[in-house]
Amino acid sequence: MKFEILTIFPEVIECYIKHGVVGKALEKGIAEVKIYNLRNYTRDKHKKVDDYPYGGGVGMVMQIEPFYNALKQIKKDRKPRKVILLSPQGKRFTQGVAKDFLEEGKGIVLICGRYEGIDDRIKTLIDEEISIGDYVLSGGELPALVIIDSILRLIPGALGDDLSAKEDSFMKGVLDYPHYTRPDEFKGMRVPEVLISGDHKKIALWRRKEALRSTLNSRPDLLKNLSTDDMKILKELCSEINKKILEGSHEPVNY
């Protein structure tokens, strides 16, 4: 899969993609990341890509021309691509969206804005707007890296073990279960006995129950379209919580 990034800070992208899962995926040839420095696509002799906003106001606005020129260059090969503008106004990026992008099988162009934003005429050049959350960042580079990382993890061969991606939070509709490793006891804190019992059936049940417990406590909004078995586990968890509340050993939980 090919990712193409339009930015005025290529070094930010270059630094991240050398390491970890992304770096290994690129080394294996599983994916490709190409970076376009927008300053190379402006006719201004000082490589300026921004100007004062029409109508007045604070800050600077990125000009449409560098983006237009860069996209024109990118699209010369006529290969199918999805052009994405990273912005607070966009659709929320989720694990499901990451899977959809991968399944579409198209290359992805990620447009990174800066300053007060981009000339709104950019919207005539894009396919979609995406937001990674309801907060403000200094630019689109971090969201671009978030999207690349999350999609790459789903590509077979990107991780050391392809099962790792399938066990990630949100992949099964709920948050992940707790993880433990050696030593089995540390400063009086013990690993749950079931995990060192060798009984894989009990371990699988424990993990699912703890995943549902974590989701119930932290993200109850995710508890939708559960299986009959999950609903049974959820009822048990609710009974446990109610019992602890009655005993005064647990704070009330909204669910």
Using the 8-state DSSP alphabet, how is residue 103 labeled?
H
pLDDT at 72: 97
DSSP H helices, the chain, are 10-16, 20-28, 64-74, 95-104, 141-152, 162-166, 200-218, 228-247
Q: What is the DSSP string of 88-144?
A: EEEEEP-HHHHHHHHHHT-EEEEE---TT-B-GGGGGS-SEEEES-SS--S-SHHHH
Given the residues 129, 168, 176, 208, the one annotated as active site: 168
Tell me the C-alpha distance between 2 and 7, whole Å: 16
In this prediction, residue 241 has a pLDDT band, given cuts at 50, 70 and 90, of confident
**The token pair that represents 245 in the structure block:** 């509340």
Fold exhibited by the domain 2-162: Alpha/beta knot (3.40.1280)
Tell me: pLDDT of 27 over 50.
Answer: yes
**Which amino acid belongs to residue 120?**
D
pLDDT for the residue 198: 94
The structure tokens listed for 247 are 């005993």
Active site residue: 81, 114, 153, 213, which one? 153
Whole-number pLDDT of residue 168: 54
User: Is the pLDDT at 214 greater than 60, yes or no?
Assistant: yes
pLDDT confidence bin for 216, thresholds 50/70/90: very high
Q: Which of 11, 44, 104, 116 is catalytic?
A: 116
- Give the pLDDT of residue 69: 97
Question: Quick check: is 134 catalytic?
Answer: no
The structural domains of the chain, with segments of one domain joined by +, span 2-162, 185-247
Catalytic site residue from 88, 149, 167, 208: 88
**Residue pointed to by tokens 């447009």:** 111
251 has pLDDT over 80: no
Which amino acid, residue 247?
Answer: E
Identify the CATH number of the domain defined by range 185-247: 1.10.1270.20
The confidence score (pLDDT) of residue 196 equals: 94
For position 19, what pLDDT does the model report? 95
179-184 CB contacts, 8 Å cutoff, 24+ apart = none
Question: Is 92 part of the annotated catalytic residue set?
Answer: no
Residue 255 reports pLDDT greater than 50: no
Q: Of 3, 6, 37, whose CA–CA distance to 17 is shortest?
A: 3
Place of tokens 């090919």: 2
Q: Please, what is the angle between helix 228-247 and helix 200-218, to 10°? A: 60
Instruction: Please provide the average confidence, as pLDDT, over all residues in the chain.
Output: 91
> Mind listing the pLDDT tens digit for each residue in 139-197?
999 999 999 999 999 999 998 665 555 555 555 678 889 999 889 999 999 999 999 99
Q: What is the pTM of this model?
A: 0.82
Instruction: Give catalytic status of residue 149 as yes or no.
Output: no
Interval 52-66: pLDDT, tens: 999 998 899 999 999
Q: Which residues are CB-neighbours of 56 under 8 A, at least 6 positions away? A: none
CA 61 to chain centre: 27
Q: Is 44 a catalytic residue?
A: no
Give the model's confidence band at 225: pLDDT under 50 very low, under 70 low, under 90 confident, else very high: confident
Q: CA 93, CA 103: separation in Å to the nearest integer?
A: 15
